[in-house]
Amino acid sequence: MCPWHHPEQCPRTSEQGEPVADSHDQSVTWLTQEAYDRLKAELEHLSGPGRTDIAKKIEAAREEGDLRENGGYHAAKEEQGKMEGRILQLRQLLDNARVGEAPRTEGVVGPGMTVTVRFGGDDEEVTFLLASREESGSPIDVYSPKSPLGSAINGKKIGEKATFTLPNGRQNTVEILEAVPYVGN
């Protein structure tokens, strides 16, 4: 794993290998129909039966007595908080989603593109997919267009360089060697 790559920022592609990418407009997330349907079903479950189930768990734990030392109660409340956070995340994502593929131009870095770069001071080439993080299954590493590296290279052409900030606060430069539409497995 590369030092500038964080798995929690790592976007993915659909199981069919289709890119799920953010467009140049950072507020839009492009999703495959399969991904949109899966995320919508997850939201409906969490908003309905999921909320009912967690409320029942909290009520059952409350009936056990003293809440200060009730591990079941505290665990259920923590689970409820995580679930509500996921509901908000899904609502925002689906509100800003478009089903289909982001516009792509060969030779220009953008979402849904397989990008090959060379980092400053290093002869090694790195190839990855620039796409949204809501999918999984890509055979290559996937980087988010919203990550520091993704933001820096988005819109750059082959031969151009970009500078971005590493998690440790240092600057790194990357040269774009190739940018081609992702074709799947």
What CATH number does residue 46 fall under? 1.10.287.180
What CATH number does residue 110 fall under? 3.10.50.30
pLDDT tens readout for residues 112-166: 888 999 998 788 899 988 887 665 556 778 888 888 999 999 999 999 999 999 8
Amino acid residing at 27:
S
Res 104: pLDDT = 64
Q: Are residues 23 and 70 in the same domain?
A: no
In a domain? residue 21: yes
Q: 6 vs 41, which has greater pLDDT?
A: 41
* Greatest Cα-to-Cα distance within the chain, rounded to the nearest angstrom: 67
- Count of the separate structural domains present in the chain: 2
Tokens linked to 142: 């996937």
Contact between 157 and 107 under an 8 Å Cβ cutoff? The reply is: yes
Q: Are residues 111 and 169 in the same domain?
A: yes
In a domain? residue 134: yes
Res 130: pLDDT = 85
Q: Are residues 57 and 87 in the same domain?
A: yes
Q: Are residues 57 and 44 in the same domain?
A: yes
Q: Are residues 172 and 115 in the same domain?
A: yes
In a domain? residue 1: no
Q: What is the sign of the dihedral through the CA atoms of 91, 5, 149 and 181?
A: negative
- Domain end position, chosen among 59, 76, 98: 98
Tokens linked to 126: 């790195």
In a domain? residue 2: no
Helical axes 71-95 vs 51-62, angle rounded to 10°: 160
In a domain? residue 54: yes
List, in sequence order, every beta strand (DSSP E) within 24-112.
29-31, 97-99
Q: Are residues 156 and 138 in the same domain?
A: yes
Residue closest to 108 by CA, chosen among 144, 146, 158, 142: 158
Contact between 61 and 70 under an 8 Å Cβ cutoff? The reply is: yes
Res 18: pLDDT = 40
* pTM (global) more than 0.85: no
Q: Which residue has the tokens 């679930």?
A: 83
Contact between 55 and 135 under an 8 Å Cβ cutoff? The reply is: no
- Domain end position, chosen among 98, 115, 147: 98
Domain that holds residue 155: 7-27+102-181
Q: What share of the chain is helix, strand, coil (3-state, %, to 5)?
A: 35, 25, 40
